Amino acid sequence: MDGKQVEESEPVTLSEVKAILSSRREDGELLYEQSIALDHANKFARLELGKAENLVEKLVEVGVRKDMACKLADLLPQNKEELQMLFPKERFVSDESLMEKIVSTIQEYGES
């Protein structure tokens, strides 16, 4: 470790990581770790920034925690089974109607 401490932490989607690091790259050279993170975000971010932010907002409105909503926006599970595999211990896995809302919300924003 180089002695740096985390000042604040907030969950973000890969689309947000991509936007943040792309902006920083324009301002100057990225650190090695930042370059690796940007490469990963470029490869795996499936939604554009605006769509990802809207999806996270909608999922939070449905009752999903923000950290989980960000992960769902990154992975875009397409059915209840995929949702259960991602979060097997979460309370919404036993709530069929909530799972249906989550999946239908994700499908609205799915890749187009």
Structure tokens at 4: 């740096």
Whole-model pTM: value is 0.88
46-98 pLDDT, tens per residue?
Answer: 999 999 999 999 999 999 999 999 999 999 999 999 999 999 888 877 889 99
> pLDDT value at position 106?
96
Q: pLDDT at position 3, please? A: 59
Quote the pLDDT of residue 63.
92
Find the mean pLDDT for residues 36-52.
Answer: 97
Which fold does the domain 11-112 belong to in CATH? Growth Hormone; Chain: A; (1.20.1250)
User: What radius of gyration do the chain's Cα atoms show?
Assistant: 16
**pLDDT score at 100:** 94
Query: Dihedral sign, CA of 33, 11, 108, 76?
Result: positive
How many CB atoms sit inside 10 A of residue 38's CB?
Answer: 18
